[in-house]
Each structure stands twice: as C-alpha cells, then as structure tokens.
Amino acid sequence: MGVIAATTYDFPSADSLDKFHGNLVAYVGWEDHLLFCAPFAFALPPNTSFKSFCEDMLIKAFKYHPDTQKIDWKSVEWFKSGKPWSPDVNKTLAENGLKHKDALRFRTPGLKGIKESCN
C-alpha cells in the first residue's frame, strides 16, 4: 500500500547493515525458557564461528538459567524465521547463510525450564 504523505517521502532505513561497523545483528531465543523474557540481540562479525557463537556468546547470555549447563549443542534444534535450520558449527555465521537481522530460535529437547513450566 505505502505511506501517503504530502510530498515525496523517502528515507533510508535506520538499521541497515552498513550502520553496524562491520557487524551484523542476529536475534536468538531459547524456546521454552521464558525466564529470559525476549530473544536476545547480538551484534557480531559475520565471520564469527558458529561454535564460538554458541559456546561463548550464547552460554554467557543465558548463563543464569539452571538448564544452561545441561545444554547439549549437538542435540539442539535450530529454527530460522520459524523454519528448521541446520547450521554447521564448524562454519562462520556468514558461511552458514546467516544474514543481518535474522531471527534464530533454538530448542533443547528434554529441557523445559523451571519446574517444566517453560520458564
């Protein structure tokens, strides 16, 4: 449909990739762990290895939860934009096809949060 304005109305996006100093933005939510209220946002270099992304950054971000130390990255199920996604841990984010502002979710089978309440 498009905006209806009095004259030409055409402005750049505030959050295009070029504005992040070489980083891209990615969001990661941990399903069934609503103790963390919302998916986390990360700004990181596209050539970050997926392994270090999980084992360093995500562990650090989610460290508060008692389930975190039980995470078995090999059995984690990944989703990108809601669809199943199979990243290669030995590749970088970019090599895995991760784009700026992609939304990821991971599910840890068997781990359902505090008292299994999805918290």
Partner 1 sequence: MDMKVKKKLGLKERYSIMTRDLGWDTTFQPMDKVFPYDKFEGIKIHDWDKWEDPFRLTMESYWKYQAEKERKLYAIIDAFNQNNGHLNVTDARYINTIKLFLNGVSPLEYMAHRGFAHVGRQLTGVGARVACQMQSIDEIRHIQTQIHSMSNYNKFYNGFHDFTHMHSRLWYLSVPRSFFDDAITAGPFEYMVAIGFAFEYVLTNLLFVPFISGAAYNGDMGAATFGFSAQSDEARHMTLGLECIKFMLEQDPDNLPIVQGWIDKWTWRGTRVLMLVGTMMDYMLPKRVMSWKEAWEIYFEENGGALFKDLARYGIKVPKCAETATIEKEHITHQTWAALYQYGAATNFHTWIPSPEEMDWLSEKYPNTFDKYYRPRLEYWAEETKKGNRFYTETLPQLCQVCQVPMFFTEPSDPTKICCRESDYKEEKFHFCSDHCKEIFDNEPEKYIQAWLPTHQVFQGNCFPEGADPSAPDFDPLAELLKYYHFNVGRDNMDFEGSEDQKNFAAWRDISVKN
Partner 2 sequence: MQIDLRMVSIKPLRNTFDHIAKRLGSDKPASRYMEGTMDLQAVTNFHYRPLWDPKHTIFDAGRTAIGMKDWYALKDPRQFYYGTYTMARAKMQEASEENFNFVEERGLAERLPNAVRDLALQVYVPLRHVEWGANMNNMSICAYGYGTAITQACNYHGMDRLGNAQYLTRLGLVLGDVETIQVAKKDWLEGAMWQELRHFVEDTFVVSDWFELFVATNFVLDGLMYPLVYQHIDRVIDERGGPAVSLMTRFQTAWFDETTRWVDSCIKVAAAESPANKEKVSSWINAYRNRALKSLAPIAKHALGANSTAIMESIELALNARAAKCGI
Rounded to 5 degrees, what angle do the CA atoms 94, 37, 45 make?
20
47 binds partner 1 (CB under 8 A): no
Question: In the bound complex, what is the minimum distance in angstroms from residue 8's beta carbon to partner 2?
Answer: 7
Look up residue 69 and give its DSSP letter: G
Count of CA atoms in the C-beta half-sphere (13 A) of 117: 6
CB distance 29 to 108 below 8 Å: no
Q: Please, which residue, 58 or 87, has the CB nearer to partner 1?
A: 58
Question: In the bound complex, what is the minimum distance in angstroms from residue 117's beta carbon to partner 2?
Answer: 37
8 binds, among partner 1, partner 2, none (CB under 5 to 8 A by kind): partner 2
Look up residue 36 and give its DSSP letter: S
Kindly determine how many residues on this chain lie close enough to bind partner 1 according to the rule CB under 8 A. Answer: 51
115 binds, among partner 1, partner 2, none (CB under 5 to 8 A by kind): partner 1
Q: Which helix (H) or strand (E) holds 40?
A: strand 40-44
Question: For residue 83, how far is the Cα from the chain centroid?
Answer: 13
> Interface with partner 2 by CB under 8 A: which residues?
3-9, 11
* Residue list 79-118, contact with partner 1 (CB under 8 A): 81-82, 99-103, 105, 113-115, 117-118
Q: Please, which residue, 47 or 117, has the CB nearer to partner 1?
A: 117
